[in-house]
Amino acid sequence: MQEADSGVSSPTISHRNTASLIRHAGPHFAAAHLDGLMALYVNPSHGRAVTLPISESRSQPLVDFVRCSYLGLDNHPSIVEGAIEAVRRYGTLHWSCARTRLNFAALGDLEDALSDLFAARVITYTTVLAANMSALPLIASGVLTGGKKPVMVFDRYAHATLAFNKPVVAEECEVRTIGHNDVHALEDICRQNETVAYVCDGVYSMGGCAPIQELRDLQERYGLFLYIDDAHGISLFGERGEGFARSQMPEGLGERTIIAASLGKGFGASGGMLMLGTSFQEEIFRRFALAHAFSASINVAAIGAALASQAIHRMPELGVRQKALAEYISLFDELVPTAQAGSRLPIRTIVVGDELAAIGAARVVLDAGYYTSAIFFPTVAKGRAGLRICPTAGHTTAEVRGVSAAINRALKG
Amino acid sequence: MQEADSGVSSPTISHRNTASLIRHAGPHFAAAHLDGLMALYVNPSHGRAVTLPISESRSQPLVDFVRCSYLGLDNHPSIVEGAIEAVRRYGTLHWSCARTRLNFAALGDLEDALSDLFAARVITYTTVLAANMSALPLIASGVLTGGKKPVMVFDRYAHATLAFNKPVVAEECEVRTIGHNDVHALEDICRQNETVAYVCDGVYSMGGCAPIQELRDLQERYGLFLYIDDAHGISLFGERGEGFARSQMPEGLGERTIIAASLGKGFGASGGMLMLGTSFQEEIFRRFALAHAFSASINVAAIGAALASQAIHRMPELGVRQKALAEYISLFDELVPTAQAGSRLPIRTIVVGDELAAIGAARVVLDAGYYTSAIFFPTVAKGRAGLRICPTAGHTTAEVRGVSAAINRALKG
């Protein structure tokens, strides 16, 4: 989510203006809904296809390019069977109690397996949203940085579920927002402050990524604390699917890096997780993280699915899927020019500019049988509306060619 | 969650001090962990029993009184089968995309069924936490109160997942915290301000409830907006399990009442929900609620389980279970005196006072084969530590008698 205004902010500047957001985005949401582009309710079909009910007796087949199941794992038979078997074995879907109290033994098994897989201390959450809102206040408190409260610096494109927490952490420490990937501004802040924590996405949901190596350099030189939401990078990179951020840190996370990631998206199950570097961090999170103490765990189906997915992450199949994804992305790049062309990242955005023109283009593509996301403020900046498309390893060559042709036709029209 | 300090607060007063919380609660968490009372990893057994692995070959049977499955539905065969069948039918557990994009058709069916069941417009969320953080900023924006930003008033015992959002909403409107159930203070604020929104729990997680009728009176007289988190009240009250708050509003929610509730706890499935009163509210939430636009939906297993549970809510079985719960609560009240004795609410707290004494008492009860919650700051106020126990319709008379005897022995010891 991008902010309406840019530049450095201080705790005294308001981070939110919901009424203004609704006023600005309302007409475009209305247009997109009218055009049948928003909130589709569909049934699964084969592969990446779905069927959209039109009437009692008719439905429209669509190939979906909206979902972020980058490796095509969300309908993997082992993962589906893992979910079913776990619910059957446990005879329940969910226990309502805080994780500080009672947990399914299988959840312990899952967190052990994920910790081994990613060489980190992994704690699961119901969503990445819950992981982020749990982690950021603990970082702000200074308890993870030797008792010294950090200056918390947010990338201005940091995901909405990160940016939401700015006023919360601003009650405990100084908060600043810097330009997207502005490493120089970040270094200036590191020079001027003893303790600094940086909050960013690994892979950005609207394209692009964090400069992990440069951030690690700042960490080495200034002790910078890093909190990286790698929801869109998990599973896609690394021999074991460690993800975009973790796979660039072969030496381990250490005391000053925490990575959030999804158990959905590339991973193919359901939920979120945090990768921590130390046992001290783990103890703090298992006692005091808001969602750990005052909300629920992932349900048994999600536990079973994630256990199956982590097993796939240890097999050659993972590499085969990573390679297939890379090939489909390359094919798409050959056919449709975007700012992200040539990148290994899976998200492509086509800028149209005008909001209504972007919505119209998405409708033309939908009529051709392909569902893509019409993106506009607040998802992207005003006047930078367009289409977002997520090729996956589960698509076919014909589907990637088909959606590319439909997009090119829509852009000409 | 109770705050460390009381009294009226303004947007300029900090609501959080995580470092201080960790400093104060840390030793008690450590003691409770050492005593084997926190974060148990167990396997399900029959009824409300679980087994705690002790070694490779041995495990301890325990009767659980921690989980909030008040009607004993969390291991109901129809709900378990509903979860399994939905995953099998859809061939996937979870789709990673915002609800503003793509949804399972079954999720639409579920929200229609819940809307019909509770005579409200129901939207589901992965957790009540996600529902709360989605709703409160929309209320603060004033868009639900005719464009006029409200003064947002929080009960000081409002759940942690509500209180978390105070600094967020304080960026958009004035925020105050009043004493627990202090209707007079609330009326004073209503007299002095044109638009006021009150945020509270329906049934409080540590005992007690909101004075719904008095709040509705204030609503009638001053147009007070009500946001009630009834996570612990859902399913337990009302002919169709509308819950503690909704069942006291037979005339409907209207334009100024929103109720949050759980799809877990009494309901017996997994997730959270909001009951809205108007189509305008529904449209705003389906477009702009943070978790709707930037997080995931409940997974397919949760959809299937909730569909099965809402069907049970229409059957005589619901009333049978509500009655069984009431009888076990009465039996417990006969055997163990608490401040909540005689109440229809399901949560009982036994105040011990000293934190270590409460932890010791919980250990004695555990040794007798019953798992209860040792509660201490920040869950309750400092020096008000004790035990929390949740009898359910799934317990047996022998189990309720057994835990009561164990508690009485522990309190004498």
Distance CA B26, CA B32 (A): 10
- DSSP codes joined into one string, A213-240: HHHHHHHHHH--EEEEE-TTTTTTSSTT
- Tell me the two tokens of residue A225: 């604390």
**Beta-carbon separation of A93 and B299 below 8 A:** no
Say yes or no: B258 contacts chain A, CB-CB below 8 A.
no
Nearest to B18 among A44, A138, A167 (CB): A138
Give the mean pLDDT of B307-326. Answer: 98
Using alpha carbons only, give the angle B204, B337, B35 rounded to the nearest 5 degrees.
75
Decide if B152 contacts B176 (C-beta within 8 A): yes
Q: Give the closest residue to A271 by CA, choosing from A240, A248, A295, A305.
A: A305
Give the number of other CB atoms < 10 A from CB of residue B149: 20
- Tell me the two tokens of residue A237: 């990179």
Q: Work out the minimum CA distance from A40 to partner chain B, whole angstroms.
A: 5
Q: Whats the size of chain B, residue-wise?
A: 413
B-chain residue closest to A304, CA distance: B93
Residue with tokens 């004790």: B386
Mean pLDDT for chain A overall: 94
Domain A77-312 class? alpha beta
Residues of A in contact with B128 (CB under 8 A): 295
The contacts of residue B91 (CB under 8 Å, 6+ apart) are A44, A75, A80
Distance CA A239, CA A313 (A): 8
- pLDDT of A15 > 80? The answer is no
List pLDDT tens digits, range A179-198. 999 999 999 999 999 999 99
Q: Work out the minimum CA distance from B387 to partner chain A, whole angstroms.
A: 13
- ipTM score: 0.96
Residues of B in contact with A91 (CB under 8 A): 44, 75, 80
Give the mean pLDDT of B65-79. Answer: 98
Give the number of other CB atoms < 10 A from CB of residue B46: 9
- pLDDT of B381 > 90? The answer is no
**Beta-carbon separation of B96 and A79 below 8 A:** no
**Beta-carbon separation of A39 and B286 below 8 A:** yes
As a dihedral over the C-alpha atoms of residue B340, residue B342, residue B347, residue B351, rounded to 10 degrees, the angle is: 30
Q: Whats the size of chain A, residue-wise?
A: 413
A72, A205, A269, B126, B399 from B94: Cα distances, Å: 12, 18, 7, 12, 38
Nearest to A43 among B74, B105, B264 (CB): B105
Helix (H) or strand (E) holding A348: strand A348-353
Distance CA B167, CA A169 (A): 9
Give the mean pLDDT of B121-144. Answer: 98
Q: Is the model more confident about B38 or about B3?
A: B38
pLDDT at B231: 98
Distance CA A209, CA A111 (A): 27
Using alpha carbons only, give the angle B199, B66, B4 rounded to the nearest 5 degrees.
45
pLDDT at B11: 39
Q: Give the closest residue to A281 by CA, choosing from A273, A293, A289.
A: A289
- Tell me what percent of the residues of chain A surpass a pLDDT of 70: 96
* DSSP one-letter code for A210: -
Diameter of chain B measured on Cα atoms: 66
Helix (H) or strand (E) holding B132: helix B128-140
pLDDT at B14: 63
Checking A182-186 for CB contacts under 8 A at 24+ apart, the result is: A182/A155, A183/A211, A183/A214, A183/A215, A183/A218, A185/A8, A186/A153, A186/A215, A186/A218, A186/A224
- Tell me the two tokens of residue B126: 């992965």
Out of A24-33, A211-220, B94-103, B152-161, pick the least confident: A24-33
Fill in the amino acid letter for A18: T
Residue with tokens 């949560």: B347
- pLDDT of A10 > 70? The answer is no
The contacts of residue A63 (CB under 8 Å, 6+ apart) are A48, A49, A369, A370, A371, A395, A399, A402, A403
When pLDDT is cut at 50, 70 and 90, the band that residue A56 belongs to is confident
Q: Give the closest residue to B205 by CA, choosing from B241, B251, B158.
A: B158
Say yes or no: A43 contacts chain B, CB-CB below 8 A.
yes
Q: Give the closest residue to B408 by CA, choosing from B389, B385, B380.
A: B389
- pLDDT of B5 > 90? The answer is no
Residue with tokens 């918390």: A152
Direct distance between the N- and C-terminal alpha carbons of chain B, in angstroms, rounded to an integer = 29
Beta-bridge partner residues of A177: A154
When pLDDT is cut at 50, 70 and 90, the band that residue B51 belongs to is very high
Say yes or no: B341 contacts chain A, CB-CB below 8 A.
no
Q: Work out the minimum CA distance from B226 to partner chain A, whole angstroms.
A: 19
**Beta-carbon separation of B133 and A133 below 8 A:** yes
Residues of B in contact with A1 (CB under 8 A): 294
- pLDDT of A6 > 90? The answer is no
* DSSP one-letter code for B245: T
Distance CA A131, CA A133 (A): 6
Decide if B176 contacts B153 (C-beta within 8 A): yes
- Tell me the two tokens of residue B98: 């915002």
Distance CA A141, CA A173 (A): 7
Decide if A53 contacts A36 (C-beta within 8 A): no
Say yes or no: A99 contacts chain B, CB-CB below 8 A.
yes
A-chain residue closest to B45, CA distance: A90
- pLDDT of B12 > 80? The answer is no
Q: In Å, how far from its chain's centre is CA B161?
A: 10
The contacts of residue B56 (CB under 8 Å, 6+ apart) are none
Distance CA B268, CA B249 (A): 23
- Tell me what percent of the residues of chain A surpass a pLDDT of 90: 89
The contacts of residue B316 (CB under 8 Å, 6+ apart) are none
CATH number for the domain formed by residue range(s) B18-70+316-412: 3.90.1150.10
Domain ranges of chain B: 18-70+316-412, 77-312
A1, A34, A160, A236, B222 from A382: Cα distances, Å: 12, 20, 16, 30, 39
- pLDDT of B402 > 70? The answer is yes
pLDDT at B180: 97
List pLDDT tens digits, range B101-128. 999 999 999 999 999 999 999 999 999 9
Fill in the amino acid letter for B225: F
CB pairs under 8 A between A and B: 296
Give the mean pLDDT of B288-298. Answer: 92
- pLDDT of B3 > 60? The answer is no
